Chains A and B, each alone.
Chain A
Amino acid sequence: MIEFPILTMLVLVPVIGSVLVALISKRYPDLVKVTALVTSVLTAGMSIWLLAAFKTNNADFQFASQHEWIKAWGISWHLGVDGISIFLVVLTGVLFPLVIVGIDPHHDHKRYLSWMLLLEAGVMGSFISLDLFLFFVFFEIVLVPMYFLIGGWGYDNRVYAATKFFLFTMIGSAFMLVGIIATAVLAKADNGHVTFDLIKIAENASFAASTGRWLFFAFAIAFAVKVPLFPLHTWLPDAHTQAPTGGSVILAGVLLKMGTYGLLRFGVFLFPEAAVWARPLFLTLAVAGIIWGAIAATMQTDLKRLVAYSSVAHLGFIVLGTFALTATAITGGVMQMVNHGISTGALFILVGMIYDRRHTREISKLRGLQKVAPIFAAVFTVVMLSSIGVPGLNGFVGEFMVLIGSFGTARWWVVVATTGVILAALYLLWAYQRVFHGEPDEDNKSFAELKWKEGMLLLPFIGLIVFCGLYPKPMIDRIQPSVDKLLQHVSQHSDFKVPAPAEPVISNGGEG
């Protein structure tokens, strides 16, 4: 019997949905919405089924499927998930239907939904590709729907932001494409034939140190732009601020993770020697991003821009964890990818709601919202605390694991990075204070309370924030084996000695 090609379907279903939505006539707006919803919910269902069927304590790629695609160039349709990617797949699967059903783009629903579904397919594909070429295809194709989403449904300065987003990311990909081809061509000597297969190259290829480092940088530039790593982050605040709420949620929730995920999968895994060699640089940039992002966030007058800069800081933690190269730190980094997707996604939704009500995001124009909308303020508080990393909520687990895991191998960087945690409390609490505390003035008095529909949209986010904060063990159990395997691969292929994992920290991490 042929196994159900679940991973292929994860990509295909949204594509089919996108095409259907594009083909349905504008005269049936409800049918358009239902189609989009059904396909995205179906994808979400499949991704959750995938998680349920995922074998814990198995470090290998599961559900792998491989078919020849472009034989002449040694390219295959090779998909698979492991502990590092599984939660990103689920996050993608879950986030999209929420965005599709919960956030109103205000005009042109048909085209909006069509692009949204195409975006989902692209993001999904990037997380499950095990072929360099295939990964590049997905990584690059994502730009197109996102470009149109920002450009078509964004705010005043959307054309500038969309173009900047497209060109910045594309310039990173330009280097990566050359890197990918060079990797495949140079690995030919070890593989016997030209192949773009990630696993084959990672396991067989033995690049000379200098070659590997060049190739690593070709990849790393693309990911550093995508993450975005300081100082390549300047596209992000613009893109985030100008994007429609749905676009921002997806951008922060999953799109940026393509960068951090890429660094792990196509940086550290593919070029362990070079990654070890480049550690100091990336650790420094990560920490610089944490501090810079936090300082810049403090200075913002626009609430959405503030959240955008906070993303720069949070992603700095993930990169820090990645290049600390210990099991705890990387596991924490992967968890932080998911957690950041949940909490920042929710923050963007909340900021979007504020904008819909007040038509401004200027912090100085908002005041005393707590008085008129206490439930809204309560939800905002939970999400904000999760973003700050308060124990008991999801943000804490990842951040704490990153810091504690990195301490052994990257001590002084951790010392500096920890101040970033304090700064996060500073900018978020200060913003909260200005927006929610005090007496509402005339404009803010009519601020509407959280509606039922909005509450239902936010409920899953709150649920995940609390659940992952209190009981992260199921996640850790699934992530860690793959991380261990990755680190084993690193120590085999470089002179880096991975320290033994600090067990007690992991088992108690959540409750702390």
Chain B
Amino acid sequence: MGALLAADTLHGPKVDWFALTPLIILLGGAMVLLLVAALTPAWPKRAYALFTVAVGSAAAVMSFILWDRINHQGAKTLVGDAMWLDKPGVWIAITVCIGVVMAALLTDDYLRREGIDGPELYVLYLLAALGAIVMASANDLIVLFLGLEILSLALYVMAASHRKRADSQESGLKYFILGGFSSAFLLYGIALIYGSSGSTNLGKIESYFRLNPILDHSKETLALAGVALLIVGLAFKVAAVPFHFWSPDVYEGAPTPVTAFMASVGKAAAFAAMLRVLLQGLPHWAQDYRPAIWTIAVLTLVGGSVMAVVQTNVKRMLAFSSISHAGYLLVGVEAAAHNAGNGLSSTGVSSVLMYLLVYTVLVGGTFAVVTAVGRTGDGATDLAGFRGLGRSKPALALGMTVLLLAQAGVPLTSGFVAKFGVIGDAVRVHSYAIAIIAMVSAVIAAFLYLRIMISMWIAEPEAGDDAREAVRVPALLCVAITLSVGFTLAIGFFPDWLIHAAP
């Protein structure tokens, strides 16, 4: 009762609404789509997708404007110290918007092909993006958790959204249960950190541990347990080994465009959150968590690539490849942990952020091809489905080849630039062992991309191949693939501006 009575003296924080415009646009777009589409008859072909693309682009444009503002006025916190308006946050916001645009381009024809057209999935994309940006800009563990839940709940529903495929339902359920599990870990970690430091605000946590370097035994135990649980929770979200078990099944079962969204936006947000928590909140504990990150990174790199080798379903392969990419990103995080005291300006952060942007575009394009090859029913995603693509659709196969080579980290593609960035930072902080392990596991992972290429270009046609449904590449899908391949090559040849831009 006391709190209620005191309500008239409680002042809300001053809100810089302009700094929140990307979020407002995404929320507004989602609401409009949800309400208007519910009240009006089915929109004309492609309208839902194009609307989503427009909303995503508008949010991206606003993010660019904010970027410019940070250039002039510097970074600051928003909404009573709960969120950051800084370059890493805006960078991730742009990345997320790109992810939304790519996903929307992929989804359009897919839904009509599968006979489940409607606005719901687009609404969920926009809401998930909102959550992802909140998560990436959070300066408070509670806000971070809020963002994470907005993102995750949307993702659970999306994964299960293909009503006609049992696999999709299974995928959604699995993701929901394991995701809930990991959220619990994270929340427990937040509670323990709060217990030891007395705050959920990252800045306050950081200063508490800095000003009280010698903690009593119980508080230290509490804090260390909290750090461990936070890492476990976030490692679940990025699908790092050994917390990756959900990802192959979920990736395989979810509708292909949703898989693309999950792999790009989900990962970007989770890594941004990880950087914030570890570097902005808990740099004091860097010496303690760095070995853990190192171990997880190595397990993820090696596990992701080795397990990918034995798969026969391309979506599963790409799930494992996505795990090994997470390993690379963790190499960057490990490098950053070497000089965690610098917060988000540590060596390694900018290459992680660049990697996330590059990977988002790359994965969007790759899954666009998988969407096309999946054919009606979204089932033909095993290697056999790709057989003979080089003959029937040479341009599509060539695009896929470029994207796969980029994922393998072959020079003159964006993937190489991204890998070079994180490996370079690992070497810079003298983490030679992890750099070599990462490169060697890239070779193992290359085998998986080679297998897909063999299917497309080299494998002999088999009886029944001609009876398969022809692969169609509708306009928007074509746009997505072209953009993605173009970006991949452009960054591969001229990476300078992106490296300069990365915060």
The reply on A80 being an interface residue by CB < 8 A is no
The reply on A185 being an interface residue by CB < 8 A is yes
Tell me how many residues of A have a C-beta within 8 Å of chain B: 30
- Contact: B424 with A73, CB < 8 Å? yes
- Provide the residues of chain B in CB contact with A181, threshold 8 Å: 420, 423-424, 427, 435
The reply on A70 being an interface residue by CB < 8 A is yes
Q: Which residue of A lies closest to B394 (CB)?
A: A111
Given contacts A174-B442, A181-B424, contact A137 B412 (CB under 8 A): yes
Q: Which listed residue (B412, B436, B443, B495) contacts A178, Cβ 8 A?
A: B436
User: Complex Cα distance A72/B427, Å?
Assistant: 16
The reply on A159 being an interface residue by CB < 8 A is yes
Q: Which listed residue (B427, B432, B436, B457) contacts A148, Cβ 8 A?
A: B457
- Contact: A175 with B499, CB < 8 Å? no
Given contacts A148-B457, A174-B440, A175-B439, contact A185 B424 (CB under 8 A): yes
Interface residues of A in 146-177 (CB under 8 A from B): 147-148, 151-152, 158-159, 162-163, 166-167, 170-171, 174-175, 177
The reply on B450 being an interface residue by CB < 8 A is yes
The reply on B478 being an interface residue by CB < 8 A is no
Given contacts A136-B411, A166-B450, contact A178 B496 (CB under 8 A): no
User: Complex Cα distance A137/B499, Å?
Assistant: 18
User: Complex Cα distance A174/B458, Å?
Assistant: 26
Kindly supply a per-residue 1/0 record for chain A positions 208-225, scoring 1 wherever the CB is within 8 Å of any chain B CB and 0 otherwise: 000000000000000000
- Provide the residues of chain B in CB contact with A177, threshold 8 Å: 420, 423, 439
- Contact: B458 with A151, CB < 8 Å? yes
User: Complex Cα distance A166/B405, Å?
Assistant: 12
Kindly supply a per-residue 1/0 record for chain B positions 432-466, scoring 1 wherever the CB is within 8 Å of any chain A CB and 0 otherwise: 10011001101100110010001001100000000
- Contact: B446 with A140, CB < 8 Å? no
The reply on A144 being an interface residue by CB < 8 A is yes
- Contact: A70 with B495, CB < 8 Å? yes
User: Complex Cα distance A174/B405, Å?
Assistant: 15
- Contact: B443 with A170, CB < 8 Å? yes
User: Complex Cα distance A427/B473, Å?
Assistant: 56
- Provide the residues of chain B in CB contact with A152, threshold 8 Å: 457-458
- Provide the residues of chain B in CB contact with A71, threshold 8 Å: 496
Besides A141-B410, A178-B435, 13 new A-B residue pairs in contact (Cβ under 8 A), listed by A number: A71-B496, A72-B496, A73-B424, A141-B412, A144-B410, A152-B457, A159-B458, A163-B454, A167-B443, A174-B439, A177-B439, A185-B427, A185-B428
The reply on B72 being an interface residue by CB < 8 A is no
The reply on A182 being an interface residue by CB < 8 A is yes
Q: What are the 9 closest A-B residue pairs judged by CB atoms, nearest first?
A: A174-B439, A137-B411, A72-B499, A181-B427, A170-B443, A171-B443, A151-B458, A178-B435, A182-B427
Q: Which residue of A lies closest to B446 (CB)?
A: A170
The reply on A69 being an interface residue by CB < 8 A is yes
- Provide the residues of chain A in CB contact with B439, threshold 8 Å: 174-175, 177-178
- Contact: B412 with A174, CB < 8 Å? no
8 A-B pairs, CB-CB below 8 angstroms? A73-B424, A143-B410, A144-B405, A147-B450, A163-B454, A167-B446, A167-B450, A181-B423
- Contact: A171 with B440, CB < 8 Å? yes
- Provide the residues of chain A in CB contact with B468, threshold 8 Å: none
| A interface: dominant SS | helix
- Contact: B457 with A151, CB < 8 Å? yes
User: Complex Cα distance A167/B496, Å?
Assistant: 29
Most buried by B among A136, A144, A152: A144
User: Complex Cα distance A177/B411, Å?
Assistant: 11
- Provide the residues of chain B in CB contact with A166, threshold 8 Å: 446, 450
- Provide the residues of chain B in CB contact with A147, threshold 8 Å: 450
User: Complex Cα distance A147/B401, Å?
Assistant: 12
- Contact: B500 with A174, CB < 8 Å? no
- Provide the residues of chain A in CB contact with B450, threshold 8 Å: 147, 163, 166-167
User: Complex Cα distance A208/B360, Å?
Assistant: 41
User: Complex Cα distance A479/B282, Å?
Assistant: 59
Interface residues of A in 175-211 (CB under 8 A from B): 175, 177-178, 181-182, 185
Which residues on B are within 8 Å of A, measured CB to CB? 405, 410-412, 416, 420, 423-424, 427-428, 432, 435-436, 439-440, 442-443, 446-447, 450, 454, 457-458, 495-496, 499-500
Cβ distance A150 to chain B, nearest Cβ, rounded Å: 10
User: Complex Cα distance A140/B442, Å?
Assistant: 13
Cβ distance A72 to chain B, nearest Cβ, rounded Å: 4
Cβ distance B409 to chain A, nearest Cβ, rounded Å: 9
Q: Which residue of A lies closest to B440 (CB)?
A: A174
- Contact: A70 with B458, CB < 8 Å? no
Q: Which residue of B lies closest to A134 (CB)?
A: B411
User: Complex Cα distance A69/B458, Å?
Assistant: 35
Q: Which residue of A lies closest to B500 (CB)?
A: A72
- Contact: B447 with A163, CB < 8 Å? yes
Given contacts A137-B412, A140-B411, A152-B458, contact A174 B436 (CB under 8 A): yes
- Contact: A182 with B432, CB < 8 Å? yes
User: Complex Cα distance A70/B439, Å?
Assistant: 22
Kindly supply a per-residue 1/0 record for chain A positions 109-151, scoring 1 wherever the CB is within 8 Å of any chain B CB and 0 otherwise: 0000000000000000000000000001100110110011001
Most buried by A among B423, B424, B457, B500: B424
User: Complex Cα distance A167/B408, Å?
Assistant: 11
- Provide the residues of chain B in CB contact with A174, threshold 8 Å: 436, 439-440, 442-443
- Contact: B436 with A140, CB < 8 Å? no
User: Complex Cα distance A32/B496, Å?
Assistant: 35
- Provide the residues of chain A in CB contact with B424, threshold 8 Å: 73, 181, 185
- Provide the residues of chain B in CB contact with A144, threshold 8 Å: 405, 410
- Contact: B454 with A151, CB < 8 Å? yes
Given contacts A171-B440, A181-B423, contact A69 B428 (CB under 8 A): no
Q: Which residue of B lies closest to A148 (CB)?
A: B457
User: Complex Cα distance A163/B455, Å?
Assistant: 13
User: Complex Cα distance A73/B454, Å?
Assistant: 35
Q: Which listed residue (B405, B432, B499) contacts A70, Cβ 8 A?
A: B499
Cβ distance A228 to chain B, nearest Cβ, rounded Å: 16
User: Complex Cα distance A166/B420, Å?
Assistant: 19
- Contact: B457 with A178, CB < 8 Å? no
Most buried by B among A144, A177, A181, A182: A177
- Contact: B436 with A159, CB < 8 Å? no
Cβ distance B195 to chain A, nearest Cβ, rounded Å: 41
- Provide the residues of chain A in CB contact with B436, threshold 8 Å: 174-175, 178
- Contact: A73 with B405, CB < 8 Å? no
User: Complex Cα distance A181/B331, Å?
Assistant: 15
Interface residues of A in 474-493 (CB under 8 A from B): none
Cβ distance A148 to chain B, nearest Cβ, rounded Å: 7
Q: Which residue of A lies closest to B442 (CB)?
A: A174
User: Complex Cα distance A196/B101, Å?
Assistant: 37
User: Complex Cα distance A171/B445, Å?
Assistant: 11
User: Complex Cα distance A362/B446, Å?
Assistant: 34
User: Complex Cα distance A70/B412, Å?
Assistant: 12
Q: Which residue of A lies closest to B497 (CB)?
A: A72
Most buried by A among B411, B439, B446: B411
User: Complex Cα distance A144/B398, Å?
Assistant: 13
Cβ distance A397 to chain B, nearest Cβ, rounded Å: 36
Given contacts A137-B412, A151-B457, A171-B440, contact A178 B499 (CB under 8 A): no
- Provide the residues of chain B in CB contact with A143, threshold 8 Å: 410
Q: Which listed residue (A140, A148, A167) contacts B410, Cβ 8 A?
A: A140
User: Complex Cα distance A101/B432, Å?
Assistant: 47
- Provide the residues of chain A in CB contact with B428, threshold 8 Å: 185
User: Complex Cα distance A313/B423, Å?
Assistant: 36
